[in-house]
Amino acid sequence: MDIERARKLIEKSNTVFAAVKDGKVIFASEERGIKPALEFFLLGKETTKGSSAADRVIGKGAVMLLSLCCCKELYGGVVSQDALASLKKMGQTVLWKTVVPHIINRRGDGRCPVEKLLLNTEDPREGLDIIKKFLMKSGGK
């Protein structure tokens, strides 16, 4: 099962984000944050559609990007309540290990900046634009 293979990759290796399609790993990244989900999206729908993706942390930003990828199912080690609410509205299949009120920033002193920027939108295309602008301002981190 593709989702199980993707889940095992993020749980048993240094991989933070993985996507599997038809039994083959089509994308894997050890980078943290929203960047791996954006890089996966940039592969194009011909590649990403029908895949199963696993991410150690899924916030609302990852949800928006992965919905544009047309993934058939998602797994998150940690998933925010905002991300789950968005997934339910989209009718997306998702499995998770832990649900948290929101994703914490890297300093550990507040909400993830991407989740904060996306609080007032449910439109994945608008979310994509917000995420790209954020990454440009932050130097791609």
Please tell me the predicted confidence (pLDDT) of residue 141. 61
Which residues pair with residue 96 across a beta bridge? Answer: 76
What CATH number belongs to 2-137? Answer: 3.40.140.30
pLDDT tens-digit profile of 2-21? 999 999 999 999 999 999 99
Please tell me the predicted confidence (pLDDT) of residue 111. 95
Residue 139 confidence class, pLDDT cut points 50, 70, 90: confident
Rounded Cα gap, residues 84 and 95, in angstroms: 10
List the strands of the sheet with 73-80, edge to edge: 24-29, 17-21, 52-58, 73-80, 93-100
Q: Is 63 helix (H, G, I), strand (E, B) or coil?
A: helix
pLDDT tens-digit profile of 91-131? 888 999 999 999 999 999 999 999 999 999 999 999 999 99
CA distances from residue 112 to 72, 98, 118, 134, 138 in whole angstroms, order as listed: 26, 17, 10, 12, 13
Q: Residue 35 contacts by C-beta under 8 Å, 6 or more apart in sequence? A: 29, 135, 140, 141
Task: Identify each DSSP E strand in 1-71 by its residue range.
Answer: 17-21, 24-29, 52-58
DSSP string for residues in 73-140: EEEEEEEEHHHHHHHHHHT-EEEEEEEESSPBPTTSSSB-HHHHHTTT---HHHHHHHHHHHHHHTT-
Please count the other Cβ atoms lying within 10 Å of the Cβ belonging to residue 68: 17
pLDDT tens-digit profile of 19-76? 999 999 999 999 999 999 999 999 999 999 999 999 999 999 999 999 999 999 999 9
